[in-house]
Structure 1
Amino acid sequence: MRSSSYKYLCLLNSSISTPLYFTFFLLHLTILVTGDSPQPYLPLDNIALNCGSSSEKYVNDTNWTADINSKVALQDSGSIQSTVHDQASTNPVPYHTARVSCSKFTYKFPVTTPGPKFVRLHFYPASYPGFNRSKASFSVTTGRYTLLSNFSGVHYTETHGARGYAREFILNVEDERKNLSITFTPSPHVADAYAFINGIEIVSMPTNLYYTAGGMKDFNKEFNSDPLQKETALEMMYRVNVGGAEITPPDDTGMFRMWLSDIDYLTDARPSAYQYNDTIQLQYNNDTRYAAPDELYRTARTMGPDAINAEYNLTWEFPVHSTSTYFVRLHFCQFIPIVLKKGDMISKIYIANQTAELNADIIDWAGGNGVPIYKDYPVMMHAGGIEEFQNLSIALHPSPNTFSFDDAMLNGIEIFKFRKRDHLSGTNPGAYQDSPTSTTPPCATSSKPKLVVDYILGLQFHFIVILFCYWFS
């Protein structure tokens, strides 16, 4: 049970500049509110596989099982265990060991029930003994879906620093035999190509968490308003706690999602305000109970109490692939105590430079103060000239229809890539050139084809010489 004293904090990038907000701040320090945080979701399937490891590791509330002698079936033709040499530069589990192979290999996971699952693939593109780092190139497939194609992972190290990272997918397991197979295949067009994987997570989720019963708001008229169908797969691109700190997987709602701070994605936040309310009793419904952690709905960013609000848009930008389709989920919870009724705070919402909402009223949408809610939008990013990437922007602005506060508020952002076709993966950007770590890579092909070519070329040369002598004799 939380403390019965009400706490509300508004931290401005500039000082509190209006009597209205100062009065509101003092007045609501005395409100009494009690409530419990919702219990975390208990996934039926919660598998964490430490690939290439022979022993279990328990880290951050997660039991990482070894892929040797485990219940997970490994089907391969020569994969090996490998250990990362530069261990000090990355997180310990699951990034210190890997399964590496020059040939295709498959993991088969027994799942409790069919249905939607998180699939997280953990990579650390290190220099594995005996393998040429620049030759890591492979695809990852599961069932009907190609999750990654011509993937190397090295460009992520350049942008994320020397540490491991995860690529997260959401897909529906339809196999009535309750198996989920994930296959790693070295790229056939790359000489000496190999595949590697450091860790795999399979985590169940509530059926309606993303495959919702409701539809998406089709503001750009390129889609219908149907909900996500179960044959649609998603790749998580960004998951952000707006106005708050990073939320780590153990602090999620039981599904071990990572929520980053929004600070790296803000492009216009003058002056903006951090909002925080740690004692209001949040009122969840069946759709939002596990949608995001409790902490996300207690933190937010607003434009702040300043007359300049009418002159700018509070804006975030996220680099995404051009010509791809995205699913954007915006999380809201109006917890500012003096914003109590419809019309008190109405805002405009722009997504990808198009108007998504003309009159966004959180109180009206949710039915009250302290009620979490989210809104879903499909977004098509059209070709941006010759650019492979462009920014997907999300911007807020006060609506002229607001009754009381010229402000706007947002609690969280999720962005997923989705296609109704079977291919999820995009281009693998940033070809990476690296010096070989082995003079004789284990995936090196036989020299016999080259000898045959040399022999044929030699015969052709001798034939030309004989023909030349014949004509000029």
Structure 2
Amino acid sequence: MAVQAMVLLLLVTVILPRAALAAFSPDFSFFLACGANSSVSFPSDSPTRTFVSDAAYLSPVDAPAVSASSTPPSLYAAARADMSAFSYRLPYPASPDASSFLVLRLHFFPFLPSNSSQSVANISSSRFAVSVLDAYAVMSSFSPPATGGVKEFFIPRGALGGHFTITFVPDAGSSAFVNAVELFPAPPELLWNNTVTPVDPVGSNDLLRWKQYALETVYRLNVGGPKVTTEKDTLWRTWLSDGPYKYGAPGQSEVKSTSSPIIHDPSKGYSREVAPDVVYQTQRMGNYLRWTFPGEPDSRYLVRLHFCDYEVVSSVVGVGIVFDVDVGQGVASTDLMPNARATQSNEAFYMDYVARAPSAGAGNLKVSIGGGMLNGLEIMRLLPVDLRSRGSLTAKGIVIITLSAMFGIIVLAWVVVWAEQLMNRSRDGKTGGTEMVSTKLRISLTKIKAATDNFHECNLIGVGGFGNVYKGVLTDGTPVAVKRATHAPQLPEDVVVSLLTDGADETGLSVTELSDSKVNLPR
């Protein structure tokens, strides 16, 4: 038995690390080398990426391709560029997880085209907007820096599949371009998979609404360590050094590192897809750590702080390191204890906060830690649904506005007709030669419920835009029709009856007597 136990222990020790290091394998992916005539591979990536031609997904199909006059990196030697709008349609399958996200990366490297006769003579001064899924305006009047860059977004995937659309719209008199496009599903543990703490003045936790937002990665830092390139990240991310954003003199913080294996506990939602080991292998420690980031005034951000305690102290001996965290304009965590999150040394974990940048001034976002440590830091801006694009509306936006306008016209026409009928009844007291009864009745809610058998569905005689109409019989044998509105929380039991003649009692109930004639009830 002892031998079997030893063998099992050895198997677990060998197999688990290999499983944890298994390469990320999305169920679909697109890597497009825009405007290129041949594919571009990155064999040093893990997993390997190969960017292929974008022509099969382009609309219009004749959107110009341009090539660089110099020799930039191979992925940026060509681009798709136009002075008119162009888009990509990328098919993707349905997802069993309606709250999952897609990772979208757009690569930009402005250059002078090799052929001056090309329709876009110079993309180095381009300015344009980008929207996705006809719902998210992810970039507006954007002009890529001369050194190039990658814009990364996380887009809600939804349960249904379809076509992922990316639309580029140039500003007036300018052009739009893109060098490369990446699209693949994010690992399920990557976003909104852990406790999220709102930091004042954000207000209450609104996780369900935040999950419908897109996110834009604006900062991703390896704290205390060097730049981490795509080859060392299973999601092909780049982590910059935190030096340019750190506040204070160099001697105010201590950089520590470890060569021991980093532990990720999948039962807690942690994995190497959340952040690679190299990020957790370095950290800053100090009595007061602070970082400052330029932001968009009054914008909301998801701020993720990565931690890894190299010396977790047992609760039997002591509590270990304890510190406070401030994010944005408020207190994010007080008395944060790593050993309450990690049960062993070198176990990685992270904390998520939603904070708002100040509305006044430059909108700088600040992160500070008192008497603690930090290994990594990510800041993502929340982007709500926005059907507007610069100078125009998306097709879906036009449809929604048109339908809303039509619905408003129909409701207005119904109200006008109904009001005219009421005025005619009040003026003539007759409809089609038949006398109408307009006696004002003051009846309690209890009697109304008794007359309609508590608004039983068998007494339903009409459905209106603001409620259902029920027939009933009062205790004296008088038949009545009662409208019960569907939304009136200020009244008892959310019950209100609209005015069918001209009477209404203090409970908000109105009734009309039914004569032998047919009363025109709203339907």
Match of 1:318 among 271, 293, 304: 293
Alignment of 1:85-104 (within 5 A): 85-87=69-71, 90=72, 92-104=73-85
Alignment of 1:206-355 (within 5 A): 206-212=187-193, 214-227=194-207, 229-252=210-233, 254-268=234-248, 269-280=250-261, 282-286=263-267, 287-289=269-271, 290-303=273-286, 309=287, 313-336=288-311, 339-341=313-315, 343-355=319-331
Moved more, 232-241 or 293-302: 293-302
Deviations 1:189-219 (A, max 9, x none): x22x21111000012212231132x441123
Structure 1 pair 112–258 and aligned structure 2 pair: CA distance change class (3 A)? farther
Match of 1:126 in 2: 111
Distance 2:265 2:227 in 1: 22
Alignment of 1:178-193 (within 5 A): 178-187=162-171, 190-191=172-173, 193=174
Matched, 1:168 2:157: no
Match of 2:429 in 1: none
The 8 Å contact of residues 222 and 241 in structure 2, kept in 1 or not, is answered as: yes
Deviations 1:236-289 (A, max 9, x none): 00011111222111211x211111111221122533222111224514224111
The 8 Å contact of residues 262 and 277 in structure 2, kept in 1 or not, is answered as: no
1:107 Cα deviation after fit: 0.8
Structure 1 pair 396–381 and aligned structure 2 pair: CA distance change class (3 A)? same
Match of 2:143 in 1: 152
The 8 Å contact of residues 52 and 82 in structure 1, kept in 2 or not, is answered as: yes
Q: Residue type matched to 1:127 in 2?
A: L
Match of 1:409 in 2: 373
The 8 Å contact of residues 36 and 281 in structure 1, kept in 2 or not, is answered as: no
1:224 Cα deviation after fit: 2.1
Matched, 1:142 2:106: no
- Partner SS state of residue 207, structure 1: coil
Distance 1:380 1:333 in 2: 26
The 8 Å contact of residues 79 and 102 in structure 1, kept in 2 or not, is answered as: no
Match of 1:12 in 2: none
TM superposition score normalised by structure 1:
0.69
Structure 1 pair 227–288 and aligned structure 2 pair: CA distance change class (3 A)? farther
Q: Residue type matched to 2:319 in 1?
A: G
Matched, 1:357 2:333: yes
The 8 Å contact of residues 215 and 226 in structure 1, kept in 2 or not, is answered as: no
Structure 1 pair 364–177 and aligned structure 2 pair: CA distance change class (3 A)? closer
Q: Which runs of 5+ in 2 are unaligned?
A: 1-12, 391-523
1:142 Cα deviation after fit: 1.1
Distance 1:277 1:295 in 2: 10
Deviations 1:12-70 (A, max 9, x none): xxxxxxxxxxxxxxxxxxxxx998373232222232110000101112432111123xx
Aligned-residue sequence identity (percent) comes to: 28
Match of 1:48 among 12, 31, 34: 31
Q: Which has the larger radius of gyration?
A: 2
1:410 Cα deviation after fit: 0.7
The 8 Å contact of residues 101 and 185 in structure 2, kept in 1 or not, is answered as: yes
More helix by share: 2
Distance 1:358 1:281 in 2: 26
Q: Residue type matched to 2:240 in 1?
A: L
Q: Residue type matched to 1:94 in 2?
A: L
> Superposition RMSD on alpha carbons, in Å?
2.6
- Partner SS state of residue 206, structure 1: coil
- Partner SS state of residue 363, structure 1: helix
Match of 2:423 in 1: none
Structure 1 pair 425–282 and aligned structure 2 pair: CA distance change class (3 A)? farther
1:112 Cα deviation after fit: 4.0
Distance 1:299 1:425 in 2: 42
Matched, 1:392 2:339: no
Match of 1:65 in 2: 52
Distance 1:390 1:227 in 2: 23
1:149 Cα deviation after fit: 1.3
Distance 1:148 1:424 in 2: 11
- Partner SS state of residue 378, structure 1: strand
Flag the structure with more relative contact order, 1 or 2, with Cα contacts below 8 A and sequence separation at least 6. 1
TM superposition score normalised by structure 2:
0.63
Distance 1:42 1:183 in 2: 27
Matched, 1:79 2:70: no
Distance 1:177 1:328 in 2: 29
1:329 Cα deviation after fit: 0.5
The 8 Å contact of residues 126 and 133 in structure 1, kept in 2 or not, is answered as: yes
Distance 1:140 1:298 in 2: 37
Q: Residue type matched to 1:248 in 2?
A: T
Aligned length: 355
Match of 1:418 in 2: 382
- Partner SS state of residue 339, structure 2: helix
The 8 Å contact of residues 77 and 103 in structure 1, kept in 2 or not, is answered as: no
Deviations 1:390-416 (A, max 9, x none): 321111112xxxxxxxxx111110000
